[in-house]
Amino acid sequence: MSSLTPRVPLGWRPQRALRAAVGLPLLDAVLGVALAVAAVVDTVANGALTHPWTEVLATLTMAPIAWRTRAPLGMALTVAAAFAAYGAMNGTGTPMWSFLGVLVIGFSVGAHLDSRRRALALTALVASTYAVQLMDAARAVGQLTWGEVYFTPPVIILAPAAAGWLLQRARRQTAEVQRLAAELTAERERHAEAAALAERSRIARELHDIISHSVSVMVVQAGAAENLLPDDHPARVQVRAVRDTGREALAELRRQLGLLRTGGASPVAPMPGLGDLPRLAESMGAMLEAVGDLPRTGSPGLELAAYRVVQEALTNARRHANGGPVQVRLVRRPDVLELIVLDEGGGPADPGVRGTGHGLAGLRERVALYGGTVEAGPRRDGPGWQVHARLPLDGAR
C-alpha cells in the first residue's frame, strides 16, 4: 500500500463517474452494453450469417439503448434503421435478443418522448419490424402465419409503449400535485403573514388611542398639580417638566402612529373592553357566562385584546356553527384571565359570510403582546369548535 496506489475520491460513485464521463446513467449504459453483447454472441454463434456485417448491425441495433433516456428519439430511429438492415441479411430472422430489445425500446419511447416525437419513433419502429417480419415470411414460406406477420409487430411495440406513456403521465401528475401543494403552502404563508401584519397595524392604531388618552390624562394632571403649587415652590419646575415632556411625547406619538390611519387622523374613540362583552354577545346571539362579576383587569390594552378574541371567535362561529348555540365563558383566576368560546358546529350558516381563515393568526399576534396564548380546535366534549385564550394578569399589573 504505497503512495503509488491510486486513491478513490471520497464519495465516489460508479454512476456519477459514468455520467460525468459519457453523460449516461449507469442503468442505461449497463442495459445497452448487455443487450449488445448478447446480440453479438448470438450472431457469432450462427455460422450461416454473413460475418462481420451481422455483428455490426446487431451492435447498432442494441447499443443505442444506452441513450434511451438521454436521446430517445435518436435511439429509436437508429435502432429502426439498423434492425431493418439486419433483417435484410440472409438467414438472420428475428432472434430472442431482438424481442427483448424491442420491449425496452418501446417502453423508453413511451416514457420519455412527447406526443409528436413519440408518434414518429413508434412509426419508424413498427415499420422496421414489419419489414423484418415480411422478409422472414418471404424466406420461410408456410412457416409464419398471417397473424404472426401482421399482428405481432404492433403488439410487441405498442404495448410496452403504452406502459411507458402511463408511467410518464403518472410522473407528470405527481409533479403537478407537488407543484400545486408548494404553491398552496406558499400562498397560505403569504396570507398568514398578511393577516399578522394587518393585525399588528390594527394593534398599533388602537394602542395609539389608548396611549394618547393616558398621556393626555397625565398632562392634564401635571398641569393641575402645577396650578395648585405656590409660585415659589421648588416642585413647580419638576411638575412643569413632566407636563412639557408629556405634551412633546403626545405630539410625537400622534405624528408617528397617526400615519397608520387610512385617510389621516381620526377622532379618538373609547376602546372596547370587558364591559362591552355583554352587548357583543347579545348582538351575535351568544350566551355569556362569567364566573362571579364581570372581571376587570385595570389594563385597557389587555381588555381590548380579550374583547378582540371573543369578537373573532363569535364571528367564526357565525360562519361555521350553522346558527347553533354559542357560549362564551369568562373565568378570572388569581393570575390569568381565561376566555372560552364554544359552538356546536354543523356547517356554514350564511354562505355570504366568508373569511380568510387567518383571523386567529392575527389574534395570536395581539395576545402574545401580553404573554398569552390562543388555542383553537375541535371540542373534546362533543361536536363543534372551541377557542380558548389565556391572558396572564401579572403582565397587566
pLDDT, tens digit (0-9, with 9 covering 90-100), for 159-216: 888 998 999 899 999 999 999 999 998 888 888 787 777 777 777 766 666 676 677 7
Per CATH, the homologous superfamily of domain 274-396 is: Histidine kinase-like ATPase, C-terminal domain (3.30.565.10)
Residues 96-131 as b or e (16 or more Cβ within 10 Å = b)? ebbebbbbbbbbbbbbbbeeeebeebbebbbebbbb
pLDDT at 300: 74
pLDDT at 180: 92
Q: What is the pTM of this model?
A: 0.48
Mean per-residue pLDDT for 24-37? Answer: 85
pLDDT at 272: 78
- DSSP tag of 350: -
The rounded mean pLDDT for the chain is: 76
- The residues, any chain, with a CB within 8 Å of residue 124's CB and separated by 6 or more, are 76, 77, 80, 81
Q: Is the CB of residue 100 less than 8 Å from the CB of residue 39? A: no
Cα-based angle 77, 79, 81 (whole degrees, multiple of 5): 70
Least trusted range by pLDDT, from 53-67, 127-141, 347-361: 347-361
Is residue 274 scored above 50 in pLDDT?
yes
